C-alpha cells in the first residue's frame, strides 16, 4: 500500500464531510499527525516513535492511520461546526484499546470526548505510551474544550490510563476488568500478524465480553479493528485463523465498505472491520 505519510487531499475533491484527510509530517521530535476540519478546529498530535528497534510497538503502523481516519471522518462526522460534543459518539464513552503501540488511535478517541481511555500493550511498551499521552495532553484538552467536554484537569490521568495487558494472561485481564467493567468501544489496529499471538488476542476478546465487560447500559461494546494484509505466509495464516476463531467464539466480522471510508484511505491492503458478539452477555 502507498505510504500513508505521503497522503493528503484538498477540500475540493468532492468529499461530503467537513473533515479533511489527516496529514502527516515526519519530524525530528516525532511524527506530527494533523486531523483537519473545514471549520478550522484542527487537532494536531505529535507521536513519538522508535526507529532503533524492530518491536511492533515502536512506530505508527498504516493500519493505525486508517483506523484513526475512519474514526475522524465517519464515526465522528458532524455538520462542520464541531461545537457540540454530542455530535461524536465518543463523548462520555469509555474506550479500551488493545495493542496500543504508540497510542495514536486511543489518544484520538480521548480528544474526541471519551470520558476514559485505557491504552494497553506489553509491559515494555507502556512507558512510551505514557510519554505520548503526556506529550499530547495539552492539545487534547484544548480540543476537548472546543467540543464542550473538557476534563477540567491539567493531569492526563483524568482521562488516559496506560496499563500492561499481555493477551491471554489471566492475571492481567482480571486486574483490567476489576478496575474497568464498562467500555462502549474496543479498538484494535494491526493486531493480527502472528498465529500464536492471534489465538491469545481472540481469547482476550472472548474473555472480555464473557466476563462482564459491557457498555454502561449493559450491551456489548462496539469493537473496531483495522488490519493490513501482507504478502507473507505467516500473515495469511494469522488472518485465516483470526476469522475462524472469531466465528467459533460467536463473533461476526463485518467489513466497513469503501464507501464509508474517505477516498484517499480506501485500500485493498488495509481493511476496517466491526466485530459483533452474537453470544449475548
pLDDT given at position 178: 75
Q: What is the mean pLDDT of the chain?
A: 81
**pLDDT tens digit string along 122-142?**
999 999 999 999 999 999 999
Window from 46-50, 61-65, 156-160, 167-171 with minimum mean pLDDT: 46-50
Beta strands in 145-241 (DSSP E): 160-164, 185-189, 222-228
Q: What's the rounded Cα separation, in Å, for the pair 231 and 131?
A: 33
Window from 8-12, 88-92, 135-139 with minimum mean pLDDT: 8-12
Q: What is the pTM of this model?
A: 0.85
- In which element (H, E) is residue 2 found? none
Cell triple for 32: 506530527
pLDDT given at position 77: 57
Tell me, what DSSP letter sits at residue 4? G
Dihedral angle over CA of 128, 131, 137, 138, nearest 10: -140
Mean pLDDT, rounded, for 58-74: 86
**pLDDT tens digit string along 191-225?**
998 999 999 999 999 988 877 666 666 678 899 99
pLDDT band at 82 (very low <50, low <70, confident <90, very high): very low
Query: Is residue 47 within 8 Å of 102, Cβ to Cβ?
Result: yes
Report whether pLDDT(162) > 50.
yes
pLDDT band at 3 (very low <50, low <70, confident <90, very high): very low
**pLDDT tens digit string along 96-114?**
999 999 999 999 999 999 9
End-to-end CA distance of the chain: 38
Domain locations in the chain as residue ranges: 62-277
Query: Is residue 120 within 8 Å of 99, Cβ to Cβ?
Result: yes
Query: Is residue 126 within 8 Å of 81, Cβ to Cβ?
Result: no
At 40, give phi and psi (nearest 5°). 95, -5
Query: Is residue 260 within 8 Å of 215, Cβ to Cβ?
Result: no
Q: In what order do the strands lie in the sheet with 30-35?
A: 23-27, 30-35, 43-47
pLDDT band at 187 (very low <50, low <70, confident <90, very high): very high
SS3 assignment, position 9: coil
CATH topology of domain 62-277: Rossmann fold (3.40.50)
**pLDDT tens digit string along 213-260?**
666 666 788 999 999 988 788 888 999 999 999 999 999 999 998 888
pLDDT given at position 1: 38
Cell triple for 261: 471510508
Report whether pLDDT(25) > 70.
no
pLDDT given at position 72: 86
Q: What's the rounded Cα separation, in Å, for the pair 90 and 233?
A: 37
Amino acid at each position: 500500500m502507498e505510504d500513508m505519510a505521503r497522503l493528503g487531499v484538498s477540500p475540493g475533491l468532492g468529499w461530503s464531510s467537513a473533515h479533511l484527510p489527516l496529514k502527516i509530517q515526519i519530524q525530528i521530535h516525532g511524527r506530527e499527525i494533523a486531523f483537519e476540519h473545514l471549520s478550522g478546529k484542527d487537532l494536531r498530535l505529535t507521536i513519538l516513535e522508535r526507529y532503533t528497534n524492530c518491536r511492533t510497538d515502536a512506530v505508527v503502523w498504516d493500519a493505525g492511520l486508517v483506523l484513526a481516519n475512519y474514526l475522524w471522518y465517519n464515526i465522528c462526522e458532524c455538520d462542520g461546526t464541531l461545537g457540540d460534543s454530542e455530535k461524536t459518539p465518543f463523548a462520555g464513552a469509555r474506550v479500551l484499546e488493545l495493542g496500543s503501540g504508540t497510542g495514536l488511535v486511543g489518544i484520538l478517541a480521548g480528544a474526541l470526548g471519551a470520558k476514559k481511555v485505557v491504552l494497553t500493550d506489553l509491559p515494555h511498551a507502556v512507558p512510551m505510551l505514557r510519554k505520548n499521552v503526556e506529550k499530547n495532553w495539552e492539545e487534547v484538552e484544548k480540543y476537548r474544550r472546543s467540543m464542550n467536554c473538557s476534563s477540567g484537569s491539567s493531569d492526563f490521568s483524568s482521562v488516559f490510563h496506560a496499563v500492561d495487558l499481555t493477551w491471554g494472561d489471566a492475571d492481567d485481564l482480571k486486574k483490567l476488568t476489576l478496575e474497568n467493567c464498562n467500555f462502549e468501544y474496543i479498538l484494535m489496529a494491526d493486531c493480527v500478524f502472528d498465529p500464536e499471538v492471534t489465538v491469545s488476542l481472540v481469547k482476550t476478546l472472548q474473555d472480555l465480553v464473557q466476563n462482564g465487560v459491557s457498555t454502561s447500559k449493559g450491551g456489548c461494546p462496539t469493537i473496531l479493528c483495522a488490519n493490513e494484509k501482507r504478502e507473507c505466509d505467516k500473515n495469511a495464516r494469522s488472518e485465516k485463523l483470526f476469522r475462524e476463531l472469531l466465528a467459533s467464539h460467536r463473533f461476526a466480522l463485518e467489513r466497513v465498505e469503501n464507501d464509508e471510508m474517505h477516498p484517499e484511505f480506501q485500500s485493498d491492503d488495509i481493511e476496517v472491520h466491526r466485530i459483533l458478539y452474537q453470544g449475548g452477555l
